[in-house]
Amino acid sequence: MISRHRLVKPVLVLLAAGLLVLAVSGCAFVKPKSLALSQPQGIGSVRVHFNLCTLGGEEITENFENVCGPNEEPETLQYLIGIAVPPGSVPPASFTATPVGGGTPIVFSRNDEVATQMAPASGVIANLIEKIIEPEDPEEIETVAKLKELLGKPWPPSGLQAFGYLSEPVNEAEGATQEWSVDADFGLPSGAGGAPFAGPFVAAIAYGLRAANSEFPPGRPIHCLNPEAQQPGDAVCLGGLQEAQVGTADLKIAGPAKPAKAFVGGSGQLAFSLKYAGAPPAVPSFALSATTTAKGGKAKPASATFTPTGPTGSDKVTVSVPKKTKPGTYQVTLTAQTPQGGVATGVGTLKVTKPKLKLGKVKLNPKTGTATLKVKVPSGGKLTISGKGVRKVKKKAKKAKTLKVKIASSGSAHATLSSAGKVKLKVKATFKPSSGISVSKTKKIVLKLR
């Protein structure tokens, strides 16, 4: 009878029967049940964690879990890692396998050939197992079935997008037992229409290895074993070995579609929308803060914190604009941060201008010796009409509009009008917005009396 150890080792690294040029007795392998997912910062990237260990266990359990042990022969190899995640996830350019208990780190770099080659090769190993081993008794048949189940899963799993990574050459020492810890952070994909990602986040791991030496240089193209088109130096590629999922939290912040407005020396208010989705163990609470690119300006959210109670929320940011600020368009950023350090931001724009006052046509009333002046004000605020010999008038506006103001003479100017039938006045119109600096304009008006 063929032992489980004898079955596992040829299938994982030799495949016996002269099918591979790569013939090694020891290598690193994905440690069973080591795949775990988390969202360390409460929102944002998901951390895909798993362990690698040297393959050499003498007492492998019937579930093929005890695979870690000392290398039997020294070899120089390259490892292939496939990580499948939800479509649209943002993969890291590289990650490092950190030694557990001493050793040399292994750097993995993004490699599209790995992802391409692993997909068609995922079922090859499983299909060859029965032909190679030719099981006869019930125990052997059961063992082969378990191997086929372990290695025969399609890659990538349905609904996931696969990314590939290739290691630098690794020198494996004879008799050494080593283990490495891997953390690879993947950015969350966006939901439909830019909505937050609702989760859960699912990830799966695939694995491969190939020789790296003078005969088979590490920079050569990647080919996974294909019995129908076998090439020297082919890599052993195994499909979905492990799969896990985790509930996630995601927050999207959006500023107003149109720029908010503010006058120099005043303030403006921007309404931000906050969209939340997720199902983590607990709903995160966010600390809110705001900034603006307007020099010297201060931005303050209406609330100090945001705790989602549903899929949508909102907050308003008030921006104060100093008198020395130049007119222009500035960014306003609302930031939401979790206690763990996760950050979501949204950006709006604030258009800063100087208030403009427009003095319109004058309509004289010779019967009363007065005139009506049209004044267009840019916002809510207070308009004051004054000047030497001009009767002072104050008017309030709740919004931008055109005010009609009666212009009349006073004092010596009124006496001149009464005796001469006309008087020339220099009328000053001053507007103080509800928020912002004052603006003034003058207009010469000749009052007539008949």
221 and 234 Cβ atoms separated by less than 8 Å: no
| Kind and range of the H or E run holding 90 | none
Q: Which CATH code, of 1.25.10, 1.20.120, 1.25.40, 2.60.40, is assigned to 358-448? A: 2.60.40
Burial pattern 278-301, b for ≥16 Cβ within 10 A else e, equals bebeeebebebbbbbebeebebeb
Render pLDDT for 31-83 as a digit per residue (tens, 0 to 9).
889 999 999 999 999 999 999 998 775 544 445 556 787 877 778 899 999 99
Provide the pLDDT confidence category of residue 438 given band limits of 50, 70 and 90.
Answer: very high
Neighbours of 154 (CB within 10 A): 12
User: pLDDT > 90: what percent of the chain?
Assistant: 67
- Mean residue pLDDT of the chain comes to 87
Start-end of CATH 2.60.40.10 domains in the chain? 249-353
Which of 345, 40, 337 is closest to 186 using CA atoms? 40
Token representation of residue 274: 């906050």
24 and 77 Cβ atoms separated by less than 8 Å: yes
Task: Fill in the DSSP letter of residue 222.
Answer: P
Concatenated DSSP letters for 411-440?
HHHHHHHHHHSEEEEEEEEEEEESSS--EE
Cα-Cα-Cα-Cα torsion 429, 435, 437, 440, nearest 10 degrees, comes to: -10
Token representation of residue 82: 């496939």
pLDDT for residue 153 is more than 90 = no
Residue range 229-255: mean pLDDT, rounded: 88
Tell me whether residue 55 is exposed, middle or buried, using C-beta atoms within 10 angstroms of its C-beta: 0 to 12, 13 to 18, 19 or more: buried
- The whole-number pLDDT of residue 151 equals 65
Residue 242: partners with Cβ closer than 8 Å, 6 or more residues away: 30, 32, 33, 34, 35, 50, 204, 205
The C-alpha atoms of residue 315 and residue 304 are separated, in whole angstroms, by: 10
**Location of structure tokens 């699912």:** 202
Q: In the CATH scheme, what is the code of domain 249-353?
A: 2.60.40.10
Provide the pLDDT confidence category of residue 450 given band limits of 50, 70 and 90.
Answer: confident
Residue range 108-117: mean pLDDT, rounded: 95
Choice among 33-47, 132-146, 164-178 with the minimum mean pLDDT: 132-146
- The whole-number pLDDT of residue 445 equals 97
- The whole-number pLDDT of residue 177 equals 84
Neighbours of 416 (CB within 10 A): 17
